[in-house]
Amino acid sequence: MAVIIGDTCINCAACIDECPVEAIVDEDDNPTGEEYYYVYPDKCVECVDHFDTPACAEACPTEGCITWDMPFTADHKDHFAGGNYIDGEDYVLADADAIMPTRDDISLEDRAARVNVVED
Ligand code: SF4
Ligand code: SF4
């Protein structure tokens, strides 16, 4: 993974039941304490082997709310650790060898820039 939900989320719930791996939680269960929905990066599979595109973003009515994030792999461990992960402070990559499915056609540059998953 992953995709990430930003602070423009309006808590509409359109995404949560679309996720094939139950990676999304609502504002009450957001581990960061923010009052909007959250994607667990260690659960999100970018919908690989499920759909052609991320189902959550396709369902989301808020433009730019769901963006790409870095792949959840050991190569990007530092990105998800501690304060470096701005939307998940103290998040720790529990399994340093974790290799979550990721879409190779999305560049690391676009991921770092948090480009919208659904383009205009
Ligand atoms: S991209 Fe797919 S697997 Fe990841 S949170 Fe969205 S719906 Fe779930
Ligand atoms: S569909 Fe978009 S706006 Fe609605 S809860 Fe999910 S991320 Fe937030």
21, 34 contact by CB (below 8 A): no
CATH number for the domain running over 1-120: 3.30.70.20
4 phi and psi angles, rounded to 5 deg:
-140, 145
Buried b / exposed e over 44-80, threshold 16 CB at 10 Å, is: bbbbbeeeeebbbbbbbeeeebbbbbbbbbeebbebb
Q: What angle do CA 59, 99, 61 make, to 5 degrees?
A: 10
* One-letter identity of residue 77: K
Mutate which of 3, 4, 5, 35 for ligand 2 pocket (most atoms within 8 A of beta carbon):
5
Q: What are the tens digits of pLDDT across the range 53-111? A: 999 999 999 999 999 998 888 788 778 765 555 554 455 555 545 667 889 999 999 99
Q: What are the tens digits of pLDDT across the range 10-43? A: 999 999 999 999 999 999 998 888 899 999 888 8
Mutate which of 4, 18, 56 for ligand 1 pocket (most atoms within 8 A of beta carbon):
56
Label each residue of 78-102 as H, E or C.
Answer: HHHCHHHCCCCCCCCCCCCCCECCC
